[in-house]
Each structure stands twice: as structure tokens, then as C-alpha cells.
């Protein structure tokens, strides 16, 4: 009926009204992906990692969701999209997806096996869904193909998506075997470096800053070159994917140029998406332009590595398939069925079927790797003359600038000699040796990290450490000289006595505010390293409650000048002088412990490891105050200023005794064996070395700082050492 037709038309019009805003949503999702790719590109250039590790844009639920939104137009089967801009928007969406896949290929190295399986499967479902929808449109609209604009570009874009998906899956199959090989080789290198370290320590008797820097460089080279992301970036599949991404980007460029030449505008749209189609094309074109940088540079870097290879390889070696490419598939083929099937006949049938499928997949994997090697070889053949010309020009420039290098104090050959750490470079079977310049750049990263750390040196802490004496201040926190209020005592950590002594110093009357502020800043800077040392050395977790107590107390002292809700200003007013202040703080600690013993009857609380942090902190305050009062018993108690100065010296001594473990902690960070977190750990070690350079030099000037590391790990051992010495 005419009325029904009008209603249907009105309903359809209402439903189509928000379509341009849906297009804006698609453009926004594309721009978010573009920003993430741009961040990875900027990070790669800034850190001189021209293999561009995936840090911000990686294969995960968030990126897949955004890409699914960006693929709205290719999967839309109901909207009529005949105009040029509409067809171009579909092509740009698929090329944008191809570029995204080329960008996050390296992130497979940072995933575990389960994450790889889940994410690659999700990516496959998304890509296949897009391709199937494109194929449905082509089949259903085959009668109108003669009038379909950009049909060839659409087919090529869909084919590139499928090809890149296959390459991602091929790389994913290679990752587990590669990680196992790298981990095994890394542990061998780690043992070799540890043996050399032991030999150097025996020869030198002490570890100096420059030797520690060179040692970190060794570990950094090992960590960087064995980084799974870097290994994937050097692989032939990643090189080939970069080449495919570059070709697909050129397809989009020619399509846009052709449209501009023909229509002299990019705003020729007739779909329900309206003006937003133009925004989608612009957003995704920017995404392709930004996203192509990383895959193209990876391809360029791989070819450059190939051109710098020493000696020529035979054609047979060039196309040899390394075992790690098919190892995982072979393992699956040889393993038993995960299903529990009792019937022998069906179990045999399923096992044979599984074997046939995996045999086919092994052959497909070999074909993919051979094709990728072929792409790399052809690229090398075309690029080799160009690189040879640049190499000749570079050699001539170096020849003319050699005298300039001498003026700066070191020649290029000497630089290479100093930084020749090629035996610490981890390579896979069949990989070409990294160019010397790349190795030098990797080593220079350590120096930059150390320089960055030097800019963040804790100046207040350094001035506090200049007050180091003979470490006798540790006697004042020795618990053996004060009667206990409880049958047992909690284990003692470094940070709790430091926080307690600082609380006492802050509560002393008649102390200038600027001195108290300086002490609080100094201890705050020092506690960062103290906490780091305690977390690294306390493997059993015995000191966890004591460390929590110190953290809780320090928040109140530093921010509010309060110790367990007791205002330190009020305490100093009550005391009047130093002795009365110590007595008042001691009473507050004693009251907390007595109340705890009276109120709690749980036998679990007899174990100090289970005590509340409030009680642990109160026990430390009571003991240290009593020890200070005993130290001055019978003598005239020093003035407020003198006691504050003595407390600062005690804090400096305890802090210094703890910080003698810094070298040990830095080396421990370098010895991290996990294949995934070793790079981050060595990065932290280099920064830590730069931050603490001056601290290490101060500590090396004191003979007590040269004690056996086994005797200086914990404050209890230091107290025993001081007790024997004095």
C-alpha cells in the first residue's frame, strides 16, 4: 500500500541518518591506530632501533577491536557504494589493514605460546571475514563488474591481506623454537661472561666503575641481539612482509592519483556514509603513509645486513631452510593426540589425518620461507650496486676525515677495537653477521643510558653520604643491647632503622627547618635504592613485613611530619629537650607493643613475621630510642644540634652500609635469565649505574665498603661485623 511504502521509506531514512557519524567513528578508530604506529616509529628513530620494535601498536584485543571498526566498509554488504570515493574507501581500508599487520609482526616475539595462538587466530578470523565479504560482493555483483571502479585494486588489496596473514602465521610458528634456541644460547653466553667477571675480580680485587660499564655493555649486546622482536625483524618473512606492504601502499597511491586526475577531487561519494567517506580515505591514507615507514625500514635494514655480509654464500646455502622454521610443526606431527579416544581404529585414523594435515602445513611453511628468501635475494641483487656506491663514498669520506677523528682523541679503528663485542652477538642459524656499525650503536645505547642516569643523580643523598664515618653508628641499632618487650623479634631490614632514626631527628626541638627538610629529602632519595636492594636480596621474603612497616611510617613522616598519627611537632613541644623527646617517642612505641600483647591472644601473632606493621614500627622506635638513651647515660646529653648531627651521621653510615650492595644488585640485574625481561633488566642496570656513579666512588674510598658481599647483604650481618671490629 502507498502508506506502507511511505512509512518504510521514512524508517529507512531515519536509519540512514546516523551513517555519516558511523563513518566518523571508523575514521577515528583508524587515526588511533595511526597514532600508535607513529609512536612506535618515533620510538624506533629516537632509540636508533631501525627495526622498530612494537611497543605501542601490537597484536592484542585493543588493536584488533580498533581494526575491526576500521574494516566497517569492506564488510558492509548492504550499503550501495558505487561512487569513486566510496570504492576508494574500501580499498584504503584493506590496505590500511595490510599495513597494520606489517607493523605488529615483530610483537609476536614478546608473546608466550598461548597469546600467540589466541591473537593470531583472532587476526585470522578478522582478515578472513573481510576477504569473504569482499568475495561475496564480487560474486553477487559479477554482472556489473565491467562498470565497477577500482576492481583490480580491490582484488590486489584483498590478496595482500591474505598474503600478510600467511606470513604472520608463518612467523608465529617459528617463534617458540627460536625462543628456546635463543634462551639456550643466552645462558651459555651468560656463563661465559660470568666466568670472565670472576677472573677479572680475582685479578683486580675490586670492581671499578669503568669495568662495570664495559660489563653492562656485554650483557646489553647479548640482550639486544637475542631480543625475540629483533630476531623476527631480521627474519626473511618480516623482510618479505615489508616488501608486500610497500607494494600495497603504492597501489593506494596510484589509485588516489588516478582518481584526482580523472575527477580533480576526492569528494565523489553517493553512499549512505556521505561526507564521512572522504574522512575515512584521508585518515586511512595518513595511516598507510605513517605505517609503511617501519616495514619499509625493516626491509631496508635486512637488505643492508645482507649487503654487508662477509664472504659470498652459495646459492644452495642461500635457500637452505633452517630447522627452526618447521620444528614446531614437526613436533605437533610426532606428538600424540590430545584427545582421549579408546577405540584403536579411530585413534589411528585421527593420528594419520593429523599427520597428513601437518605434513601439508610443513610443505606450505617451506614454500613461504623459500618465497621470502627469494624476495630478499632479488631485493639484494637490485640493491647491491646502490649500496656498493654508497660504501665507496663513505670510505672516501672516512679517508678525508681520519685526521679529524685523531683530533677528537680516538680513531675509528680504535673505537671498533674498544667496542668489539661481536662474540656476544646472538645469531640464529643461517643469519648474517651484524655490521660493525650496528654493534657500535648497540654499545652506544648503554653509554646514553648511563649519561641519562647521571643527569638524575640524587644530590641530597650524595651530600648525606659525605658524612660517612667508620660505620660505628650501626652499633646504635644493634638490638642485642636493649631488653626485649617480646619473646621474639621481627627480622631487621635496612629501611626501618633509617626511617625510625629520621623520625627521631625530625622530632628534635630547636632544629632549623631547612636542615630537617634536607634530611628528609636525602633519606627519601636514599630509600629508593635501599628498597631496590632489599627487594633484590630478600629472596625468601622474610623482610617483607618490616619493609611494609618502613613504607607506611615514611609516608606519614615525609608528607605530614607524623609518626603513627602522632604529630612530631607536638612531640618536640612536649619533650622540651632531646632527652625528653627520646623518652616520649620510646613511650609511644612501648605503649603500642604492650597494647598489642594485651589485646591479641592469637598464637599466630607470636611469630614476628605475622605482626602488624604498626607494631613492627613501634618495636623499632622503642629499641632505637632506648639504645640512644643508654649511649648517653651518665654523661651530659648533647645539645639538640649535636644530637641531630650525630643522628645524621648514623643515618649516613647505615645508608652507606646498605648501598655497598649496589654493585651486587646491578650485576644481578644483568644476570636476569628470563628471555623476555632481560632487555628491560639490563636497561635498568645501566640507568642505575649512571645514577649511582658518584655514590659508588664515595663508597670505594672507605675500606669498610670493601667487605665481602656475603657479609654486607643484611643489616644483621653488618651489626655482627661492627661488633667484632669494635
What is d(CA 243, CA 338) in angstroms, rounded to the nearest whole number?
Answer: 39
Structure letter (DSSP) for residue 638? P
Residue 490 banded pLDDT, cuts 50, 70, 90: confident
Overall average pLDDT of the 210-237 stretch: 86
Residue 413 banded pLDDT, cuts 50, 70, 90: very low
Q: What is the pLDDT of residues 28-61, one digit of tens each?
A: 999 999 999 999 999 988 888 888 888 899 999 9
Structure letter (DSSP) for residue 296? H
Please return the burial class of 417, using the count of CB atoms within 10 Å of its CB with bins 0-12, 13-18 and 19+.
exposed
Report yes or no: 524 and 655 within 8 Å, Cβ to Cβ. Answer: no
| CA 232 to mean position of chain CA atoms | 17
With 80 as the cut, is the pLDDT of residue 665 above it? yes
Q: What is the pTM of this model?
A: 0.80
With 70 as the cut, is the pLDDT of residue 723 above it? no
Look at residue 566 and give its three-state secondary structure: strand
Rounded (to 5) percent helix, strand, coil in the chain: 75, 0, 25
DSSP string covering 214-269: HHHHHHHHHHHHT-HHHHHHTSHHHHHHHHHHHHHHHHHHHHHHHHHHHHS-S---
Distances, alpha carbon 220 to alpha carbons 26, 196, 214, 224, in Å: 42, 16, 10, 6
Residue 227 banded pLDDT, cuts 50, 70, 90: confident
**Strand pairing of 562-563 and 566-567?**
antiparallel
With 50 as the cut, is the pLDDT of residue 445 above it? yes
In this predicted structure, what is the pLDDT of residue 416?
A: 43
What is d(CA 693, CA 552) in angstroms, rounded to the nearest whole number?
Answer: 29
In this predicted structure, what is the pLDDT of residue 418?
A: 45
448: nearest Cα among 182, 705, 683 = 683
Q: What is the pLDDT of residues 270-317, one digit of tens each?
A: 678 778 888 999 999 999 999 999 999 888 887 777 766 655 666 677
Q: What percent of the chain has pLDDT over 90?
A: 25
State the cell numbers at 142: 559479477
- Span of 75-79, 171-175, 178-182, 691-695 with lowest mean pLDDT: 75-79
With 60 as the cut, is the pLDDT of residue 365 above it? yes
With 90 as the cut, is the pLDDT of residue 15 above it? no
With 90 as the cut, is the pLDDT of residue 527 above it? yes
State the cell numbers at 604: 599466630
With 90 as the cut, is the pLDDT of residue 97 above it? yes
Distances, alpha carbon 328 to alpha carbons 37, 290, 325, 361, 365, in Å: 30, 34, 8, 11, 11
What is d(CA 23, CA 205) in angstroms, rounded to the nearest whole number?
Answer: 69
Overall average pLDDT of the 409-420 stretch: 44
Report yes or no: 655 and 464 within 8 Å, Cβ to Cβ. Answer: yes
498: nearest Cα among 570, 564, 547 = 547
What is d(CA 502, CA 376) in angstroms, rounded to the nearest whole number?
Answer: 64
Q: What is the pLDDT of residues 558-608, one digit of tens each?
A: 888 888 888 887 777 766 678 888 888 888 888 888 888 777 766 556 677
Overall average pLDDT of the 320-329 stretch: 89
State the cell numbers at 638: 648533647
Cell 577515528, residue located? 28
State the cell numbers at 482: 636493649
State the cell numbers at 723: 661488633
- Span of 185-189, 356-360, 649-653 with lowest mean pLDDT: 185-189
Structure letter (DSSP) for residue 309? -
- Span of 51-65, 382-396, 683-697 with lowest mean pLDDT: 382-396
Residue 129 banded pLDDT, cuts 50, 70, 90: very high
In this predicted structure, what is the pLDDT of residue 407?
A: 39
Please return the burial class of 551, using the count of CB atoms within 10 Å of its CB with bins 0-12, 13-18 and 19+.
middle
| CA 154 to mean position of chain CA atoms | 38
In this predicted structure, what is the pLDDT of residue 403?
A: 46
Residue 681 banded pLDDT, cuts 50, 70, 90: confident
Mean pLDDT (the chain, rounded)? 80
78 Cβ contact partners less than 8 Å away, ≥ 6 residues apart: none
Could you give the residue ranges of the DSSP H alpha helices within 141-150?
none
469 Cβ contact partners less than 8 Å away, ≥ 6 residues apart: 649, 652, 653
In this predicted structure, what is the pLDDT of residue 483?
A: 66
Overall average pLDDT of the 625-645 stretch: 77
564: nearest Cα among 574, 556, 573 = 556
Overall average pLDDT of the 74-92 stretch: 81
Could you give the residue ranges of the DSSP H alpha helices within 47-83?
61-70
With 50 as the cut, is the pLDDT of residue 630 above it? yes
In this predicted structure, what is the pLDDT of residue 551?
A: 92
175: nearest Cα among 101, 114, 242 = 114
Amino acid at each position: 500500500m502507498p502508506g506502507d511504502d511511505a512509512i518504510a521509506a521514512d524508517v529507512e531514512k531515519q536509519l540512514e541518518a546516523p551513517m555519516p557519524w558511523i563513518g566518523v567513528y571508523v575514521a577515528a578508530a583508524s587515526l588511533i591506530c595511526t597514532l600508535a604506529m607513529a609512536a612506535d616509529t618515533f620510538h624506533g628513530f629516537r632509540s636508533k632501533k631501525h627495526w622498530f620494535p612494537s611497543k605501542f601498536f601490537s597484536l592484542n584485543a585493543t588493536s584488533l577491536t580498533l581494526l575491526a571498526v576500521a574494516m566497517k566498509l569492506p564488510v558492509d554488504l548492504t550499503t550501495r557504494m558505487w561512487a569513486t570515493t566510496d570504492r576508494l574507501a574500501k580499498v584504503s581500508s584493506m590496505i590500511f589493514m595490510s599495513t597494520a599487520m606489517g607493523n605488529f609482526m615483530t610483537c609476536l616475539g614478546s608473546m608466550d605460546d598461548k597469546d600467540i595462538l589466541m591473537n593470531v587466530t583472532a587476526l585470522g578470523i578478522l582478515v578472513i571475514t573481510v576477504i569473504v565479504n569482499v568475495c561475496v560482493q564480487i560474486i553477487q555483483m559479477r554482472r556489473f563488474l565491467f562498470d565497477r571502479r577500482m576492481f583490480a585494486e580491490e582484488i590486489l588489496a584483498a590478496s595482500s591481506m591474505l598474503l600478510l596473514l600467511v606470513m604472520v602465521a608463518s612467523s608465529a610458528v617459528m617463534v617458540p623454537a627460536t625462543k628456546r634456541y635463543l634462551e639456550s644460547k643466552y645462558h651459555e653466553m651468560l656463563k661465559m661472561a660470568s666466568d670472565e667477571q670472576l677472573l677479572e675480580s680475582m685479578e683486580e680485587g675490586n670492581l671499578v666503575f669503568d669495568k662495570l660499564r664495559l660489563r653492562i655493555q656485554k650483557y646489553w649486546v647479548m640482550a639486544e641481539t637475542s631480543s625475540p622482536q629483533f630476531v623476527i625483524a631480521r627474519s626473511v618473512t618480516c623482510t618479505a612482509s615489508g616488501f608486500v606492504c610497500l607494494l600495497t601502499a603504492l597501489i593506494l597511491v596510484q589509485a588516489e592519483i588516478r582518481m584526482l586526475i580523472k575527477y580533480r577531487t576526492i569528494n565523489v561519494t553517493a553512499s549512505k556514509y556521505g561526507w564521512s567517506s572522504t574522512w575515512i580515505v584521508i585518515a586511512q591514507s595518513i595511516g598507510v603513509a605513517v605505517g609503511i615507514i617501519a616495514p619499509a625500514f625493516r626491509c631496508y635494514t635486512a637488505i643492508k645486513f645482507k649487503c654487508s655480509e662477509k664472504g659470498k654464500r652459495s646459492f644452495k646455502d642461500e635457500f637452505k631452510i633452517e630447522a627452526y622454521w618447521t620444528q614446531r610443526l614437526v613436533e605437533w606431527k610426532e606428538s600424540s593426540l590430545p584427545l582421549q579416544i579408546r577405540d584403536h581404529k579411530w585413534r589411528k585414523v585421527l593420528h594419520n589425518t593429523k599427520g597428513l594435515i601437518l605434513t601439508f602445513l610443513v610443505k606450505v611453511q617451506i614454500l613461504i620461507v623459500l618465497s621470502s628468501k627469494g624476495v630478499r635475494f632479488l631485493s639484494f641483487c637490485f640493491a647491491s650496486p646502490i649500496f656498493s656506491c654508497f660504501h665507496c663514498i663513505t670510505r672516501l669520506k672516512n679517508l678525508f676525515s681520519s685526521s679529524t677523528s685523531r683530533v677528537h682523541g680516538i680513531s675509528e679503528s680504535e673505537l671498533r677495537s674498544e667496542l668489539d663485542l661481536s662474540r656476544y652477538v646472538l645469531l640464529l642459524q643461517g643469519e648474517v653477521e651484524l655490521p660493525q656499525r650496528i654493534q657500535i650503536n648497540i654499545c652506544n645505547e648503554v653509554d646514553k643510558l648511563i649519561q641519562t642516569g647521571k643527569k638524575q643523580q640524587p644530590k641530597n643523598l650524595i651530600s648525606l653520604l659525605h658524612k660517612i664515618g667508620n660505620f660505628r653508628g650501626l652499633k646504635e641499632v644493634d638490638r642485642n643491647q636493649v631488653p626485649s618487650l617480646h619473646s621474639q623479634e621481627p627480622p631487621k631490614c635496612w629501611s626501618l632503622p633509617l626511617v625510625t632514626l629520621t623520625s627521631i631527628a625530625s622530632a628534635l626541638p630547636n632544629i632549623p627547618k631547612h636542615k630537617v627538610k634536607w634530611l628528609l629529602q636525602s633519606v627519601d632519595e636514599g630509600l629508593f635504592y635501599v628498597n631496590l636492594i632489599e627487594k633484590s636480596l630478600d629472596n625468601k621474603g622474610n623482610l617483607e613485613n618490616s619493609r611494609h612497616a618502613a613504607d607506611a611510617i615514611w609516608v606519614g613522616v615525609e608528607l605530614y611530619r607524623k609518626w603513627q598519627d602522632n604529630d612530631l611537632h607536638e612531640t618536640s613541644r612536649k619533650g622540651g629537650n632531646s632527652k625528653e623527646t627520646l623518652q616520649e617517642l620510646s613511650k609511644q612505641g612501648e605503649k603500642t607493643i604492650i597494647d598489642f600483647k594485651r589485646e591479641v591472644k592469637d598464637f599466630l601473632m607470636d611469630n614476628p613475621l605475622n605482626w602488624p606493621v604498626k607494631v613492627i614500627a613501634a618495636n623499632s622506635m622503642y629499641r632505637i630510642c632506648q639504645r640512644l638513651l643508654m649511649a648517653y647515660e651518665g654523661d651530659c646529653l648533647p645539645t639538640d644540634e649535636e644530637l641531630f648531627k650525630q643522628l645524621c651521621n648514623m643515618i649516613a653510615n647505615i645508608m652507606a652500609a646498605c648501598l655497598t650492595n649496589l654493585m651486587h644488585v646491578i650485576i644481578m640485574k644483568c644476570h636476569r635469565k628470563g628471555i623476555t625481561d632481560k632487555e628491560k633488566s639490563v636497561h635498568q642496570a645501566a640507568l642505575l649505574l649512571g645514577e649511582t656513579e658518584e655514590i659508588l666512588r664515595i663508597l670505594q674510598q672507605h675500606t669498610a665498603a670493601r667487605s665481602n658481599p656475603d657479609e654486607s647483604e643484611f643489616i644483621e650481618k653488618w651489626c655482627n661485623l661492627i661488633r667484632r671490629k669494635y
